[in-house]
Amino acid sequence: MYQEVHTDHIAARANAPEISQLLQRFEACARGPSGVSFEHFRDEVMPRFGDDLMVLTPTGDGDYAFSHYGREIIRYVGASRLRERVSAMTGQVAAFTITCCDRTLAEGRATYTVHRSLASVRVCLWERLLMPTTAADGSRHLIVFSRPLQFHEELLVAVLDTSPSGIVALRAFRDSAGQLDRLVVITANRQAAAMAGRADADLLDLDARLALPFLADPQVWQRCLFALDLRRPDRIETSWSADGRTVWLQIAVAPLGDGLVMTISDISELVVANQTLQSRAATLALEVSRERATRRALSEEMGYRDEREQELRRLAETDPLTALLNRRSFTEKAHRAIQASDDSGSDVSLIIIDIDHFKAVNDCHGHLAGDAVIRAFADLLLGQVRMERDLVGRFGGEEFAMLLPTANLEAALRVALRIQEALASRLLPVSETLALPITASLGVACRQRGETLPDLIARADKALYRAKHDGRSCIRLADPDLVIAA
């Protein structure tokens, strides 16, 4: 399991700026041999930093208990450990935590740690600042700042695992003087592991120069150190022997925190192709021109790789007919918007829209006309929202959804009315010679306190059903006491 423990140069090593602020307060609160007063320090830091703090108290039997567990920590962990024991955590994490707590109380000074919480390729590193204190009754307590150092969600893991390039993230491991001791692998995708001749999990926590064969080249290693020290990216081509053949690699290096991220491409086939073309260039002018064209194409392909990957991610999130968010992407972004509304206390409203009698459009004018109506209707919806904040998605067929952060029921109703007015005032273009009058039914709901996204969607769907049942081309609110005709 990846672990770091430091008692010096903490501010320089830490990622979260709050660690430096807490450390200054901790050192300022020290009073003589008794150290830092638990009550005084707790009252000073809890109002500002409490969401990221834990309080650990020795139980007297070699264990510790959580007497405070911050809200942000709960959000990342997924549950509260309040009043639980440290020993109830995963074995390696529990042992590491208890050892660090014992050392911090024994030495009486702040300790900075980094550890991996999950033994997987997925990056999940936590950084902590442990601060020992003494209560008025002589009991000892640890006030601990805890926050994920890096965390990649499932989409990013999928991108890493399906990338044709090897991707490796390295973290610098430094000595007490702050000098680089080694670079350690903290994550690697399957392609990188295959290039190194290892299973992906076997790369984790290893010294990079031992785990990655191409780093044994002193020139490659030196350029990686330059990229780390100078905080600038670099692109390196190198070769090494594996299983009796020469492997050519192109390595893009970029600084990431106190470490590096590497994108590794196997260009062996390209190099061999270039060498073959070059050997024939003296006698075959046509081959020379082809080689130059190939080189340009390869150079452009490498330059456009990032753009294509971004485009693939965009296509995975959008509906191909309308370019609106697809249902899965809409749901993911809506969950994040609802979480943000919980943090800020703001309203969130949802509108479900269904085109009336859409089957008749397909039956009378054909599916190409139906697709044109769907696209024109999507453009109309986009014209009624705040593009930088609101979400618009196609749920499927002729059904659409709009999530309106910071909008209460009255504001959402105004948007719904604008949609109805826009439909009433124009025909939707189907072709250069045909435009059709289109109506829609709308269900509007404002999120109630603590309501989940599925429940909010269900209430909006019920309102939409009432609109359909009441004759279509109308708006119905999730509150059954309020009925608004279009």
pLDDT, residue 33, reads 60
In whole angstroms, what is the distance from residue 64 CA to residue 280 CA?
73
For residues 369 and 422, state if they share a domain: yes
| 322 in a structural domain | no
| 412 in a structural domain | yes
Q: Which of 228, 246, 266 corresponds to the end of one domain?
A: 266
For residues 275 and 417, state if they share a domain: no
| 380 in a structural domain | yes
In whole angstroms, what is the distance from residue 412 CA to residue 158 CA?
36
For residues 357 and 438, state if they share a domain: yes
Whole-number Cα distances in Å, 315 to 133, 320, 321, 393:
53, 7, 11, 13
| 435 in a structural domain | yes
- CATH number of the domain where residue 28 is located: 3.30.450.20
For residues 331 and 438, state if they share a domain: yes
pLDDT, residue 482, reads 42
| 141 in a structural domain | yes
For residues 207 and 256, state if they share a domain: yes
Q: Which of 266, 282, 302 corresponds to the end of one domain?
A: 266
| 338 in a structural domain | yes
| 304 in a structural domain | yes
SS3 state of residue 210: helix
For residues 303 and 447, state if they share a domain: no
| 39 in a structural domain | yes
For residues 341 and 439, state if they share a domain: yes
For residues 310 and 356, state if they share a domain: no
Evaluate whether 139 touches 57 at the Cβ level (below 8 Å).
yes
In whole angstroms, what is the distance from residue 457 CA to residue 463 CA?
10
For residues 49 and 100, state if they share a domain: yes
Q: What does pLDDT average to in each consecutive run of 10 residues of the chain (486 residues)?
A: 87 90 91 80 94 96 95 87 92 92 93 76 75 93 88 57 83 85 86 78 81 88 90 88 81 88 86 75 72 79 74 80 93 94 93 94 91 94 89 93 95 95 92 90 95 95 95 87 41
Domain count, the chain: 4
For residues 118 and 205, state if they share a domain: no
Note the pTM of the prediction, 2 decimals: 0.40
Where b means 16+ CB within 10 Å and e means fewer, 431-451 reads: eeeeebebebbbbbbbbeeee
For residues 464 and 331, state if they share a domain: yes
For residues 203 and 253, state if they share a domain: yes
Find the domain containing 229 and state its range: 154-266
